[in-house]
């Protein structure tokens, strides 16, 4: 159990750092989504299924969609 949780936290950290450093903003959005998804799994492990549901549906689906629509309107690559 503790191994799974620590692996998930490490993945989450990697995703968060790469979301900051990606030059292609679409990749950055997908990495930020991964942070939310792993956070929702961690919430589930911490026995908070309410929060996990909200995090998965809002953080991983709706926020990503809104960011991708915004990227379509503006530029895709960071200078």
Partner 1 sequence: MRKIISIILLAIIFIGIILTLCKIPFGIHKTKVGQYYIDKGREKTGAVNIVTSVVVNYRGFDTLGEVTILFLAAIGLGAVLSNFKEKGKRKIEPASLILQTGCRFLFPLILLFGAYIFIHGHLTPGGGFQGGAIIASAFLLVYLGCRGRIFNEVGCKTTESLSGLVFIVMGLIGLTVGGHYFLSNFMLKGQINTLFSAGIIPIIYIAIGLKVGSELAGVIDNLMEKS
Catalog residues that contact partner 1 under the rule CB under 8 A.
49-50, 53-54, 57-58, 61-62, 65-66, 69-70, 72-73
Q: Residue 47, by phi and psi: left (phi above 0), alpha (psi -120 to 50) or beta?
A: left
Q: Given the complex with partner 1, which of 3 and 72 has the nearer CB atom?
A: 72
CB of 65 closer than 8 Å to CB of 36:
no
Q: Given the complex with partner 1, which of 23 and 49 has the nearer CB atom?
A: 49
3-state secondary structure at position 29: helix
Q: Given the complex with partner 1, which of 13 and 58 has the nearer CB atom?
A: 58
């Amino acid at each position: 159990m503790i191994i799974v949780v620590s692996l998930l936290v490490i993945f989450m950290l990697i995703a968060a750092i790469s979301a900051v450093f990606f030059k292609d903003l679409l990749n950055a959005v997908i990495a930020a989504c991964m942070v939310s998804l792993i956070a929702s799994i961690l919430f589930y492990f911490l026995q908070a299924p309410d929060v996990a549901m909200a995090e998965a549906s809002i953080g991983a689906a709706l926020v990503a969609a809104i960011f991708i629509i915004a990227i379509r309107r503006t530029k895709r690559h960071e200078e």
